[in-house]
Amino acid sequence: MTQDTEKPPSWQEDIYLALTAAGVKQVAYVPDAGHAHVIRRVHADPDMRAIVLTTEEEGVATCCGAWLGGERSVLLMQSSGVGNCINMLSLIQNCRFPFLTLVTMRGEWAEFNPWQVPMSKATQGSLELMGVTVMRASQAETAGETVRAALDSTFVSGEPMAVLLSQSLIGRKQWVKN
């Protein structure tokens, strides 16, 4: 799979700027092309720590540990990883940790991989059943503001939040032969 190397859409930079403005110091992630710009920016930022995960549920624990250590954190993942986190999300509910995840959606608009579809259909409902409030960003013009609102809900109100970044927003993915 290849990712376009041109200048990223402004909504991706808006999300990074929202994280820095909110004082997020740690960003846990499983590598994902939809989050690539934010991941690169976090790695280049001396005031932020990028934490590469082997599986998404580690990110839930990482966010909790960051909070216990006095720092704000965010988990970046793809919709296919949400199912891996379900049991670990009980930690968020039982201990009342602030939690925000930004989820790039697969299995929606123009999906080429049928294996992505089932979890895509279950992502929002799974998060909501675990007590996570879900917001959706489907338009470039509102993506940054949606993330800013979720950051406030998380770190001011203590609400566990997820922002689903729609597949039409992140763009069509295609397998390309090299």
For the stretch 43-89, pLDDT in tens is 999 999 999 999 999 999 999 999 999 999 999 999 999 999 999 99
Report the pLDDT value the prediction gives residue 2, as an integer from 0 to 100.
Answer: 41
Nearest to residue 28, comparing CAs of 58, 2, 3? 58
Write out the two tokens for 39.
């991941």
Domain residue extents for the chain: 10-170
Per the CB < 8 A criterion, the answer to whether 76 and 35 are in contact is yes
* Choice between 124 and 106, residue whose per-residue pLDDT is larger: 124
To 10 degrees, the CA torsion angle through 44, 46, 48, 51? 60
Name the band, by pLDDT with cuts 50, 70 and 90, for residue 132.
Answer: very high
CATH classification number, 10-170, choose in 3.40.50.300, 3.40.50.970, 3.40.50.620, 3.30.230.10 = 3.40.50.970
Per the CB < 8 A criterion, the answer to whether 111 and 117 are in contact is yes
* Choice between 174 and 14, residue whose per-residue pLDDT is larger: 14
Report the pLDDT value the prediction gives residue 171, as an integer from 0 to 100.
Answer: 77
Nearest to residue 151, comparing CAs of 160, 142, 141, 139? 160
